Amino acid sequence: AIAKKRLDYQAPNYLINEVDLVIELDPTDTIITSTLKCETSPHAISSNAGVASEQDLILDGEDLKLISVFLNGSAFTNYRIEEGKLVIPQAELAQLTDFTLQIKNSVDPINNGSLEGLYLSNEAYCTQCEAEGFRKITYFLDRPDVLSVYTVTIIAEKAAFPHVLSNGNLVEERDLADGKKLVKWHDPFKKPCYLFALVAGNFDKLSDSFTTMSGRQIQLELFVDKGKASQGHHALASLKKAMKWDEDVFGLEYDLDIYMVVAVDFFNMGAMENKGLNVFNSKFVLADSNTATDDDFFNIESIIGHEYFHNWTGNRVTCRDWFQLSLKEGLTVFRDQQFSADMFSYLATRISQVKVMREHQFAEDAGPMSHPIRPDEVIEMNNFYTVTVYDKGAEVIRMLHTLLTADGFRRGMDLYFERHDGQAVTCDDFVNAMQDANEVNLDHFKLWYSQSGTPRVKVESGLESGSKELNFTQRTNPTADQADKRALYLPIKVECLERSGRKIDLNLNNDTFVLDKANASVTVPSEDFVPVLLSDFSAPVILDYPYSLEDYLLIMTFSSSDYSKWDASQALYSSLISELYHNESVELSTSVWGKLEAALRQACNNYELLNEMLTIPSVESLTQGFEFSEPLKLSAARSAFLVQMQENLQDFLLEIMANTAQKSYEYTKVQVNERRVLSAVLQLLSYSKTPEMAAQLEKRFNSADNMTDKLTMLKASQICSVELFEKLMLSFESEYLENAVVMDKWFALHATTKSNDILSKLTLLASHRQFNLRNPNKVRSLVGSFAFYNTDGFHAIDGSGYQFLTDYLLELDPINPQIAARLVTPLIQYKKFAKSHQEMMVMQLKRLLNRANLSKDLYEKVSKSLT
Ligand code: DPP
Ligand code: ZN
């Protein structure tokens, strides 16, 4: 496997201006006839002083059967096939500036388990082309900087496929002989092939419309499995909100006359922004109160928004090459976060994002796959759809937004579209537009695009006559991919509180201190104060200040920022858990509990904040705070902490429980926050493990009128009583057995259970009739939840958890390497654990590496982890 390098980029030597596809669908032998209007690229001509470059036309192809090639209407045989690619020798094209190439090939959709290219599952045809899947459909210049206008004709059996869809507008539909029909689509916007899509199936359709700001009427169509139309309303409503929001906030209007969304059960990712025809994983479309939780409703709105926002940030302006992926993903994640904050809540959106950063992105940056948000080297592009490119990428955009303000950011966006609409561009082009529109210099800021790793900012206070100084030092440790690090440009929100809780004026613009070198300091006109640092997570860094427990409690009580109150609560819990980790028999001092309760009581009129402050950091997040941690010991320390917290805060928790009444379900912010508080309280109280608590949970489970509460009771019973948990899970199973999306929750709950025979349980579940190794949702729910979130099972002292995952990956890799490579993540991050665990994990990684024909996907991650 050979790595591609960002700096090796060369513009294409040939362009493909028009693509005409005729696709005759068949389960094992779909025939594709592709007619390409090609042109020798002006770039290729100019770069060689007016002479067309000496290069063959090399069309990517993978798993294709070639049938015939025609050049300018004549049969053509003088081609070569090299490593699956179709090579047209330069000599054959030398005299031509324009030419038409017609290629006929076939593919085998039903046996395509990779879910990339064209595949047939659940009786529906579906495509996924990003990043490099179009080459599994036909021979093409499969790179995002080749933009073409597509006309797509699909021939399918009429009875089995009432809905036959592709990008753009429907231009023809007619019956053919033999019970077949022909459907033709045309997309007037030039696009890269990764945005091509085709779907054919028998769906229920929900229709609606949206009137744009210029008064155009857009037809909206949502396609779901038969019988599920009633579960599509929330997604459709979310789409309309997203369309309105993008007009209001960015002045961006939809361009085609129709917008289609199709939900499918077999999908590698969350969703895909194909032009005019989004394909969604059904779990991010289908929802009603009986089948979806509050979190599901939230996620659907956010992902519908995300894919919609791509129409401008990704489709109208796309990436020049895949190293620039964050150009569209970091920006679009930022946009969907802003949308969620506006639609639902800033605090909840921000906190859940910060958790993703601290639990997953920091771990990635500290592990063998560390890369900048704009990677420099890639073996398998699918491995770079990462929390770094997406989520850290979004944090980098957020810093720009902070530095330039909302107005300045909007000016930059306007200039970006003015300059680059219809083009395939780079991250630098984006930052340059931001810079030029605001007349600032962002050269130093650009380092965020090329430097990997998480900066650590150490803050200390030093005395200066009559006042104090806060001294900031930043340092980024070497990462697996980069030894040398420089100081970054960091906006750090700072607030200082006197011991009385009064805020001290620091004279900082926007309460933000910009640390743009290794060291700098801020003067604080006070001798005794507590700094509140990195409010809103204003930069993706780890902050280090010698806080006392008292300091945390002060911040939890007096900070002007709810975010910082939450952050202090998490730091407080972490430091108490760390005490227990180092000495398991320690009783935490009783005075802490009284003060904690007092601080929490301050938030009793704000259930949104209270529920966040009652949520204890996950093991994954705690792991980041230790070097060479003992996962089992850490999990035990966390549980011990929860037991003590529950004992000491019991009256307070019971009081909250008594104050929350069950209401008939509605997805409103007020109700969501009430349910979340109740969920946090019930989970804490479950650590009492008393029969009374179990009875309480059972009663609530049986009377719940919605999925959110049911799931809360299941999670709490998982803590409270094994017998109750098993009983409720059986009842849940019999109620939802036929609902694939709901059963994913059931698999995930089983997979995260603490149990001595978890592996035999998993094996049994893998033979459940709703389980299917070829369905990524199932695999993620069962095996993914186990490997990522079942600390005690996965890190079992005898290494059996590691072995289980590895056995599974060996089975999955030949079918769906993309998913296999996602699931290997917990194993390759072995260096953060204690030696004894490391050795057992390495042993399993070596088993993987020794496997003949390991996919590029797994090879890249496993080999990097072992160097
Ligand atoms: N489906 C992925 C996303 O929307 C890839 N573009 O982020
Ligand atoms: Zn995206």
**Residue 219 DSSP class:** E
- What values do phi and psi take at 519, rounded to 5? -135, 145
CA-based nearest residue to 359, from 636, 628, 623: 623
- What values do phi and psi take at 623, rounded to 5? -55, -35
Distance CA 228, CA 298 (A): 19
Q: The complex's ipTM?
A: 0.98
For the record, the structure tokens of 353 come out as 């994002």
Distance 268 CA to ligand 2 centre (A): 13
765 domain residue, yes or no: yes
How many of the other CB atoms lie within 10 Å of CB of 244?
14
Cis bond before residue 3 (omega within 30° of 0): no
Give kind and range of the element (H or E) at residue 749: helix 740-751
> What is the pLDDT, as a whole number, of residue 806?
98
> What is the pLDDT, as a whole number, of residue 587?
80
529 domain residue, yes or no: no
Question: pLDDT per residue over 415-436, tens digit each?
Answer: 999 999 999 999 999 999 999 9
Closest ligand to C-alpha of residue 272 is 1
pLDDT grade for 463, boundaries at 50, 70 and 90: confident
Which residue range forms the structural domain that includes residue 81? 1-201
CATH number at residue 193: 2.60.40.1730
Predicted confidence (pLDDT) at residue 50 exceeds the cutoff of 50: no
Distance CA 768, CA 737 (A): 10
Closest ligand to C-alpha of residue 274 is 1
The percent of residues in the chain predicted with pLDDT above 90, rounded, is 95
145 domain residue, yes or no: yes
Atom of ligand 1 nearest to the CA of 314: 6
761 domain residue, yes or no: yes
* Pocket flag, ligand 1, residue 336 (CB < 6 Å): no
Are 22 and 32 within 8 A, CB to CB? yes
Average pLDDT over residues 562-574: 98
Distance 306 CA to ligand 2 centre (A): 6
Chain CA centroid to CA 256, Å = 27
Pocket test for ligand 1, best of 115, 283, 307, 328 (most atoms within 8 A of CB): 307
Are 577 and 570 within 8 A, CB to CB? no
Distance CA 815, CA 123 (A): 19
Distance CA 244, CA 343 (A): 11
* Nearest-CA residue for atom 7 of ligand 1: 329
The H-assigned helical ranges of 228-293 are 233-250
Average pLDDT over residues 842-855: 98
> What is the pLDDT, as a whole number, of residue 61?
98
CATH number at residue 860: 1.25.50.10
pLDDT grade for 46, boundaries at 50, 70 and 90: low
pLDDT grade for 865, boundaries at 50, 70 and 90: very high
> Which residues participate in catalysis according to the annotation?
307
* Pocket flag, ligand 1, residue 359 (CB < 6 Å): no
449 domain residue, yes or no: no
* Pocket flag, ligand 1, residue 329 (CB < 6 Å): yes
From residue 374, how far is each of 239, 385, 396, 447, 452 by CA, in Å?
Answer: 30, 11, 11, 10, 9
Burial 480-501 (b: 16+ CB within 10 A, else e): bbbeebebbbbbbbbbbbeeee
> What is the pLDDT, as a whole number, of residue 208?
98
Distance CA 289, CA 300 (A): 13
Question: pLDDT per residue over 663-675, tens digit each?
Answer: 899 999 999 999 9
Distance CA 146, CA 128 (A): 18
- What values do phi and psi take at 80, rounded to 5? -125, 150
* Strands annotated E in 230-365: 258-264, 271-272, 277-281, 318-319
785 domain residue, yes or no: yes
Distance CA 712, CA 714 (A): 5
The percent of residues in the chain predicted with pLDDT above 70, rounded, is 99
757 domain residue, yes or no: yes
> What is the pLDDT, as a whole number, of residue 585?
81
Enumerate the β-bridge partners of residue 150.
19, 187
* Pocket flag, ligand 1, residue 296 (CB < 6 Å): no
Atom of ligand 1 nearest to the CA of 306: 4
> What is the pLDDT, as a whole number, of residue 42?
77
For the record, the structure tokens of 230 come out as 């009633």
Distance 506 CA to ligand 1 centre (A): 42
* Nearest-CA residue for atom 4 of ligand 1: 272
Are 220 and 239 within 8 A, CB to CB? yes
* Nearest-CA residue for atom 2 of ligand 1: 272
Closest ligand to C-alpha of residue 335 is 2
195 domain residue, yes or no: yes
Q: Mind giving me the DSSP string for 41-82?
A: -HHHHHHTTTS--S--EEEB-SS-EEEEEEETTEE----EEE
pTM: 0.98
8 Cβ contact partners less than 8 Å away, ≥ 6 residues apart:
none
* Nearest-CA residue for atom 1 of ligand 1: 272
Is residue 4 helix, strand or coil? strand
Question: pLDDT per residue over 176-226, tens digit each?
Answer: 999 999 999 999 999 999 999 999 999 999 999 999 999 999 999 999 999
Final residue before a domain boundary, out of 131, 166, 201: 201
* Nearest-CA residue for atom 5 of ligand 1: 272
Distance 319 CA to ligand 1 centre (A): 13
Final residue before a domain boundary, out of 155, 172, 201: 201
How many of the other CB atoms lie within 10 Å of CB of 142?
23
* Nearest-CA residue for atom 3 of ligand 1: 272
From residue 281, how far is each of 273, 284, 366, 766 by CA, in Å?
Answer: 12, 6, 30, 21
Predicted confidence (pLDDT) at residue 398 exceeds the cutoff of 80: yes
* Pocket flag, ligand 1, residue 130 (CB < 6 Å): yes
Average pLDDT over residues 524-550: 96
Final residue before a domain boundary, out of 201, 220, 245: 201
Question: pLDDT per residue over 318-350, tens digit each?
Answer: 999 999 999 999 999 999 999 999 999 999 999
Q: What is the mean pLDDT of the chain?
A: 97
Question: pLDDT per residue over 477-502, tens digit each?
Answer: 999 999 999 999 999 999 999 999 99
Question: pLDDT per residue over 738-778, tens digit each?
Answer: 999 999 999 999 999 999 999 999 999 999 999 999 999 99
Structural domains in the chain (count):
2
* Pocket flag, ligand 1, residue 269 (CB < 6 Å): yes
